[in-house]
Amino acid sequence: MPTDSTRPRDHLRVIVIGAGMSGVLAGIKLKEAGVDFAILEKADRLGGTWRENTYPGIACDVPSHFYSYSFALNPEWTRQFSPGVEIQAYFEGVAERFGVAEKIQYGKEVKRAAFEQGRWRLEMSDGSRDVGDFVIAATGVLHQPNYPDIAGLEEFEGAAFHSARWDHDVEMSSKRVAVIGTGSSAIQIVSALVDQVEKIELFQRTAQWVIPVANNVFTDEEMAEFRRNPDAMLAIRNDIARTYIDGFANVLVDAKNPVIQGIHAACEANLENSVKDPVLKEKLRPTYQAACKRLIMSNDFYAAIQNLNAEVVTEGIERAEKTGLRTKDGKLHELDVIVMATGFRVDQFVRPMTVIGRGGLALDDVWREGPFAYMAISVPEFPNFFMLQGPNGPVGNFSLIEVAELQVGYISGMLEKIRSGECREIAPSQAAMDRFDAERKEAAKSTIWATGCKSWYLDATGLPTAWPFTFDRFQEEMTAPRLEDYDLG
């Protein structure tokens, strides 16, 4: 007869935090496995980053058929790189079709999660509470806007907002617009707005390498074939996946790899062939190796920034004033709108939620010197608590859906250990965490991200935090947990 500690957990309850891409995926797989679960979402709509980012020109920089769940391929994508509105509609449709939408509780921002007496007890901002045996934090990486520290910004009399908090009540036509930042969002915004506004100024701290990628429209015939023959979409997805893995994800771990040299040469040729003005060309020329920062994929940015009403500003911003931004050379740039396309606080992960593990241990204290996780998923002394897209995971120019599907499969394996009664608690051992972290840090030194640029891939010490091994290894690790690396209680 099984004892109390080994009796199967027939009524195991899982709480998923977040209803973005990863949370919806987790819900689908839990439902398929017959597990009782709830999804808690802070907003009033699912979608995560695609719900929150609605700026002009928003699109995914991963091909549409690869940025799709492998089990829910979409014949209705209109372009090779999907616009944000289509991606949002896709996730909403998938959640409905797989019966997950009804499991989402909206307006439930989790403020505190504590492991007490063998279960996770959650407190929400609306005063409600919940209890679960197992927590999957699908809180995302790109969800807390990073605002630049600009003195006097409150004095500016025009509109000012972050790109992830786009104010659609502001009419942009015939306006003088500043875009601060040079990441993917900034480049997409400039390309989308340049023909609408009176003037657009891109305030650039660091130049970016841009690789040309055509965003072709799928023809009616192609879409009809996708509907008739889902295997055609699967073949495209598999081909893209292998190309991205072999031609990009697997080579980033070696900064001297000749494939990376080829990528750099392609970016250099794009700049040389696309920008005529030698002064502008040098402004736009990065001083670091291509792929050290996340590559910008665009076929129209260089054309857009050469419009007569467009300008690249490389002088630092001194302060904001009533009528615009004053740069450190003393020039006042008169403006109507300031868009801060300055990215996200990517080191936050599950925070600002307070997470308390065994013995009252706070995750904030564990992560005081920076976030980390064993296999990018779990942390010692926080049993039955697992993260999707957690610290040290693959976050380069790649499909995070592919990453999430692998992680959900891995987590499902551990959940099954508890459901079967093999254990009641599971968390990585401190020894395994220390070994993995030491190996990760050593491997990070030879990656492309460690070749001298500043990026959101780096921690406070300048060490890359992304998965520093090949993607092939990530796939292998996610096949099944190394149970010897876990404390099973």
CATH number of the domain that residue 199 is part of: 3.50.50.60
- The one-letter amino acid at 359: G
Q: Within 10 Å of residue 476's Cβ, how many Cβ atoms?
A: 12
pLDDT band at 9 (very low <50, low <70, confident <90, very high): low
Residue 175 counted as domain residue: yes
pLDDT at residue 5 tops 90: no
What pLDDT is recorded for position 270? 98
What pLDDT is recorded for position 397? 74
Residue 171 counted as domain residue: yes
Same domain assignment for residues 356 and 334: no
End of a domain among 324, 340, 356?
340
Residue 361 counted as domain residue: yes
Q: What is the pLDDT of residues 139-159, one digit of tens each?
A: 988 778 999 999 999 999 999
Side-chain-facing half-sphere of 279: CA atoms under 13 Å = 4
Q: What is the pLDDT of residues 105-135, one digit of tens each?
A: 999 999 999 999 999 999 999 999 999 999 9
Same domain assignment for residues 418 and 361: yes
Cis, bond preceding 352 (omega within 30 deg of 0): yes
Same domain assignment for residues 200 and 55: no
Same domain assignment for residues 188 and 304: yes
Mean pLDDT of 310-328: 98
Residue 317 counted as domain residue: yes
Asked whether 489 and 383 are in contact (CB, 8 A), the reply is yes
What pLDDT is recorded for position 191? 98
Q: How far apart are CA 21 and CA 90, in angstroms?
A: 10
Same domain assignment for residues 362 and 324: no
pLDDT band at 456 (very low <50, low <70, confident <90, very high): confident
Asked whether 166 and 54 are in contact (CB, 8 A), the reply is yes
Q: How far apart are CA 148 and CA 150, in angstroms?
A: 6
Query: How, if at all, do strands 324-327 and 129-132 pair?
Result: unpaired
Q: What percent of the chain has pLDDT over 70?
A: 98
Q: What is the pLDDT of residues 213-235, one digit of tens each?
A: 989 999 999 999 999 999 999 99
Helix axes 21-32, 84-97, angle to 10 degrees: 20
Find the angle CA(383)-CA(386)-CA(390) to the nearest 5 degrees. Answer: 135
Same domain assignment for residues 203 and 278: yes
What pLDDT is recorded for position 345? 81
End of a domain among 340, 372, 389?
340
Asked whether 139 and 17 are in contact (CB, 8 A), the reply is yes
pLDDT band at 10 (very low <50, low <70, confident <90, very high): low
Q: How far apart are CA 165 and CA 154, in angstroms?
A: 17
Tokens (6 digits) for 108? 């439930």
Same domain assignment for residues 320 and 440: no
Q: How far apart are CA 376 and CA 471, in angstroms?
A: 13
Q: What is the Cα gyration radius of the chain?
A: 23
Domain that holds residue 173: 153-209+253-340
Helix axes 400-419, 471-479, angle to 10 degrees: 20
Same domain assignment for residues 393 and 408: yes
Tokens 């697992």, residue located: 386
Same domain assignment for residues 174 and 88: no
Residue 214 counted as domain residue: no
Same domain assignment for residues 191 and 320: yes
pLDDT band at 7 (very low <50, low <70, confident <90, very high): very low
Q: How many helices (H) and strands (E) does the chain have?
A: 13, 21
Classify burial at 168, counting beta carbons within 10 Å of its beta carbon; exposed 0-12, middle 13-18, buried 19 or more.
exposed
Asked whether 40 and 16 are in contact (CB, 8 A), the reply is yes
| CA dist 481 → 119, 224, 383, 457 (Å) | 22, 41, 15, 26
Q: What is the pLDDT of residues 27-76, one digit of tens each?
A: 999 999 999 999 999 999 999 999 999 999 999 999 999 999 999 999 99
Q: What is the pLDDT of residues 265-290, one digit of tens each?
A: 999 999 999 999 999 999 999 999 99
Classify burial at 86, counting beta carbons within 10 Å of its beta carbon; exposed 0-12, middle 13-18, buried 19 or more.
middle
Tell how far CA 125 is from the center of its chain.
24
What is the torsional sign of CA 234, 237, 239, 245? negative
Q: How far apart are CA 195 and CA 227, in angstroms?
A: 36
End of a domain among 307, 340, 373?
340
HEC sequence for 206-249: CCCCEECCCCCECCHHHHHHHHHCHHHHHHHHHHHHHHHHHHHH
Mean pLDDT of 459-473: 92
Q: How far apart are CA 182 and CA 202, in angstroms?
A: 8
Residue 329 counted as domain residue: yes
What pLDDT is recorded for position 143? 77
Total count of domains within the chain: 2
Mean pLDDT of 477-482: 94
Q: What is the pLDDT of residues 293-306, one digit of tens each?
A: 999 999 999 999 99
Residue 247 counted as domain residue: no
Q: What percent of the chain has pLDDT over 90?
A: 87
Residue among 180, 243, 184 nearest 211 (CA): 184
Same domain assignment for residues 202 and 270: yes
Residue 243 counted as domain residue: no
Enclosing H/E stretch for 51: helix 49-52
Mean pLDDT, the chain, rounded, equals 94
Residue among 342, 352, 350, 353 nearest 372 (CA): 350
What pLDDT is recorded for position 60? 95
Q: How far apart are CA 149 and CA 155, in angstroms?
A: 14
Tokens (6 digits) for 173? 């036509």
What pLDDT is recorded for position 210? 97
Q: How far apart are CA 418 and CA 132, in angstroms?
A: 13
Same domain assignment for residues 329 and 415: no
